[in-house]
Amino acid sequence: MSDLQVSLLIIGVIVVGGVTAFNWFQQWRLRRKLEHAFGDKHEDVLLREDPLREQPRLEPQIAPAERAGAAPVNPLPASPVISPATRAEPLPREPAFLPPVPDFDAAIDYIVALDAAEPISAAGLAELHTRAASCGRRFRVVGYSHAAHAWEEAGRLSGGRYAHLRLALQMVNRGGIVDLGALTTFCASAQECAERYSATATCPDIEASLAKARELDAFCADVDVAIGINVVAGSGKFSGTRIRSLAEAAGFKLESDGLFHYRDDARRTLFTIDNHEPQPFLPEVMKHLTTEGMTLLLDVARVADGHAALDLMVGIGRELARELDGTLVDDNRVPLTENAVRAIQQQLKAIHAKMDARGMPAGSERALRLFS
């Protein structure tokens, strides 16, 4: 090896050694500064022999977030109390101890359940009654009395207090079906009342209820039949006084609606007598009234024993025709024969069969409400 090579090797060793020494010095100075700034030297926990023995295990804890500067929050009790406003499960729709509401009919009524944690006074339902009345339909509001163990009318002035209320709005009658606006108003009024008293209101689906009402109305139109027979004058006219005298002798009574009513022992109308002309039979005009005829009318859907009522009506019609020297005819002014009466009886039988199959026998409470 030449002298030049030896000289270069020595210079290289010196340079490398100098750089290494300089780096060690820089690290030493930095460590001194850090120890001076952060205090004493801390033990490296990763170098412990068994850290699990020195410190017990801590399970994860979930605590409410604290605002800056707020006092520490005490731990929650084991069984927290949940207010009614944040209750996860709704109140039961129909508690098991509640009996059915008398005369509430799900087939023809839109029924809303209103249940509260605390009793609601009947006086507090005044606005509910007002809005329900604006729907223009028959409605009822009843409340469950724990003292009587029964439902009772919850009128504005009844003075009762009820935790359980039921509201019913009749959807179908002879005027047609209830409209969407009325059902919406009825349901909304119940919901607003429920919000006011921290209660729950359960309303049936409005569209489904309207569809059911339309189908029922179509059926009612199919069986809504009145059987009429007429007593007409052969010549001249019948006097009002004579008509009244004979009608009352036969068991009729002239009422404020301008009709003579023939009622059964339960005071239910079996059939009526109406003026064949536009002017009604009113008490104050009967003395001066004259007419060419009168009509005996049987409202089929509202009379339970229609066959017996028809026989009785035909018999009275014949007697009136004989006493007034008139003629008993049908709506086409054709004299009423025995064959014609039998044909009417067959039609009556078919209508009764349809109504029975539908679950609304003629003259039943459901039929009386629908055909009103």
Angle between helices 306-324 and 240-250 (to 10 degrees): 140
Q: Are residues 162 and 134 in the same domain?
A: yes
Q: Considering the chain, what is the average pLDDT of its residues? A: 84
Look at residue 58 and tell me if it is in a domain: no
Q: Are residues 215 and 283 in the same domain?
A: no
pLDDT digits (tens, 9 = 90+) for 161-181: 999 999 999 999 999 999 999
Q: Are residues 163 and 282 in the same domain?
A: no
Nearest to 239 by CA among 367, 352, 326, 127: 326
Phi, psi of 352 (to 5 degrees): -60, -40
Rounded to the nearest 10 degrees, how much is the dihedral formed by the CA atoms of 263, 264, 267, 270?
A: -50
Q: Can you give the CATH number for the domain in which 350 is found?
A: 3.30.1400.10
Are 157 and 125 spatial neighbours (Cβ–Cβ below 8 Å)?
no
Are 99 and 151 spatial neighbours (Cβ–Cβ below 8 Å)?
yes
Number of structural domains found in the chain: 2
Q: Are residues 204 and 233 in the same domain?
A: no
pLDDT digits (tens, 9 = 90+) for 199-254: 999 999 999 999 999 999 999 999 999 999 999 998 889 999 999 999 999 999 99
Look at residue 95 and tell me if it is in a domain: no
Look at residue 33 and tell me if it is in a domain: no
pLDDT digits (tens, 9 = 90+) for 81-93: 333 333 333 434 4
Look at residue 4 and tell me if it is in a domain: no
Q: Does residue 325 surpass a pLDDT of 70?
A: yes
Neighbours of 156 (CB within 10 A): 15
Give the pLDDT of residue 89. 36
Q: Which of 162, 196, 220 is the last residue of a domain?
A: 220
Phi, psi of 14 (to 5 degrees): -65, -40
Q: Are residues 297 and 194 in the same domain?
A: no
Instruction: Please give the Cα distance from 197 to 184 (Å, whole number).
Output: 20
pTM of the model: 0.70
Q: Which of 194, 220, 246 is the last residue of a domain?
A: 220
Look at residue 9 and tell me if it is in a domain: no
- pLDDT grade, residue 60 (50/70/90)? very low
Strand order of the β-sheet with 226-233 is 253-254, 260-263, 269-275, 293-299, 226-233, 326-329
Taking CA atoms, 260 is separated from 162, 275, 285, 333, 370, in Å, by 44, 10, 14, 22, 23
Q: Can you give the CATH number for the domain in which 136 is found?
A: 3.30.1400
Instruction: Please give the Cα distance from 280 to 21 (Å, whole number).
Output: 131
Look at residue 159 and tell me if it is in a domain: yes
Neighbours of 116 (CB within 10 A): 20
Q: Are residues 316 and 236 in the same domain?
A: yes
Q: Are residues 243 and 158 in the same domain?
A: no
Q: Does residue 61 surpass a pLDDT of 60?
A: no
Q: Which of 220, 247, 272 is the last residue of a domain?
A: 220
- pLDDT grade, residue 31 (50/70/90)? low
Q: Are residues 238 and 326 in the same domain?
A: yes
pLDDT digits (tens, 9 = 90+) for 276-320: 999 999 999 999 999 999 999 999 999 999 999 999 999 999 999
The residue segments making up the domain with residue 345 are: 224-370
Q: Are residues 290 and 155 in the same domain?
A: no
Look at residue 100 and tell me if it is in a domain: no
Q: Are residues 136 and 167 in the same domain?
A: yes
Q: Are residues 121 and 144 in the same domain?
A: yes
Nearest to 327 by CA among 235, 252, 239: 235
Q: Are residues 349 and 231 in the same domain?
A: yes
Look at residue 268 and tell me if it is in a domain: yes
